[in-house]
Amino acid sequence: MRQRVLRVALVAVLVALVLLAVPLATAMWAYFFADERNELEREALAAAVRVGPDFAAGDPVELPKGREVRLGVYDTRMRLRAGHGPARADTETRRAGAGTVVRGHVDGDLVAAVPVSQNEKVIGIVRVASPARDVWGRVLLGWLALGGVVLIALTAAVLVARRQARALTAPLEALSRQARAVTEGDLTARTAPSPIAEIDQVARTHNAMVERLAQLLQRERDFTANASHQLRTPLTGLQLGLETALTDPHADPRAALQEALESTGHLHHTIDEVLRLAGAGQPSTQTPAAVQPLSGVLGFAEQRWHGLFADTGRRLTVAAEPETQDAPVPGRTVGQILDVLLDNTLRHGRGRAEVTARSLGDTIAIDVQDEGSIHTDPAVLFDRGHTTGAGAGIGLALAKDLAETAGGRLALAGTDPTTFTLLLPPCGVPEVTHSL
């Protein structure tokens, strides 16, 4: 690219120099020869003045002394009478005998012949000649000077073209490097702004494309991690329930199937909620969360987690203030958040776990508390990938994202005992639903 730009610039400069230098060289050649002929004519006229009226009668002629040229005077018989020149007049000198000034080129000499008249009658001819090679010497010196100027201009053009080629290609080379880095998996690579508007526009478009790709890829990764995290516990419970029903000959298969059906329904809701979270920020594809009474959401959470806590010898209590019982909330979203917080309490907390719903005016606050303590910086507690135990650090980040999609906020309200608080804004009139 850089070499191509340089070649184009040099070709353009060369064409311009040729178009300028060739006519200038031609004009220089014509000027030097025309100037020499004019000078010869002036010298011939100056010599003709010195030819007296008695020249035809044999009066001698005193020729002027000037620059080194061959100056001669011829009579009407075309014989050399004074000065220097051929003994017999040449063709150009004979033409001047007709009474006109003649300029010509004879045997490598520039010649000017001027007639000398007396009483309107030609009595002699003054011939002045100089070697054409002397004029060619001056022409060649002029051409040499012109060539030097052209060479200087061409050198300057090369330097300017190289600089401009670097200025034009450097942003494109940087853009190519960043694009190569992106193809190699570095989605943090960004192209710096360019002083060239067109290239800068391409760079901005490239950066926007990479940013969008990074967001899509991160969303895909988050969706995979969120789905894996949220489906692991329900699937484990479903598997254990079915295995228990198979190994116990006295178990009621209908009850086991009913429990499995409820578990699969919860799995469907979990998948729907994770998909809805993956579409956050895309209003055209995002579906609204189902609104349900808070009492139903809390009751279903207690039903799912009471046995799990009891299996570990711990107690789970769920309570709600009377004025929050019928408060409309996004049921599936709140249910997923409670699943994350209770799973986190079950894995990392200790002692009794409590879920309490309370009213803060128009806002509903749901506290999830256990008897353990936490010493992690709250600023990084909800960062994806951050964990204080053996987990993958996905749950709390997922719960925080779910709360924000519902217009709420999840925060660490206390460290000893550990308390997480979910704040939910008013959600409208509850819809009657039996999906849970």
Tens of pLDDT, residues 125-171 = 999 999 999 999 999 999 999 999 999 988 888 888 888 888 778 88
Does residue 8 have a pLDDT over 70? yes
Confidence tier at 427 by pLDDT (50, 70, 90)? low
Give the model's pLDDT for residue 366. Answer: 93
Architecture of domain 2-56+66-149: 2-Layer Sandwich (3.30)
Buried residues in 31-68 as b, exposed as e (16+ CB within 10 A) = ebbeebbebbbebbebbbeebbeebbeeeebebeeeee
Give the model's pLDDT for residue 33. Answer: 92
CATH topology of domain 190-286: Helix Hairpins (1.10.287)
Q: Report the mean per-residue pLDDT for the chain.
A: 81
Compute the average pLDDT of residues 253-280: 66
Give the model's pLDDT for residue 430. Answer: 41
Give the model's pLDDT for residue 185. Answer: 81
| Domain boundaries 288-436, CATH class | alpha beta
Portions of the chain given CATH number 3.30.450.20: 2-56+66-149
Confidence tier at 390 by pLDDT (50, 70, 90)? low
Using one digit for the tens of pLDDT, what is the confidence trace for 288-342? 557 889 888 898 888 888 888 888 899 999 999 888 888 888 888 888 888 888 8
Portions of the chain given CATH number 3.30.565.10: 288-436
Name every residue whose Cβ is closer than 8 Å to that of residue 408 and which is 6 or more positions away in sequence. 422, 423, 424, 425
More confident residue, 395 or 78: 78
More confident residue, 392 or 255: 255
Portions of the chain given CATH number 1.10.287.130: 190-286
Name every residue whose Cβ is closer than 8 Å to that of residue 387 and which is 6 or more positions away in sequence. 393
Using one digit for the tens of pLDDT, what is the confidence trace for 327-369? 888 888 888 888 888 888 888 888 999 999 998 888 899 999 9
| Nearest CA among 415, 410, 388, 413 for reference residue 397 | 410
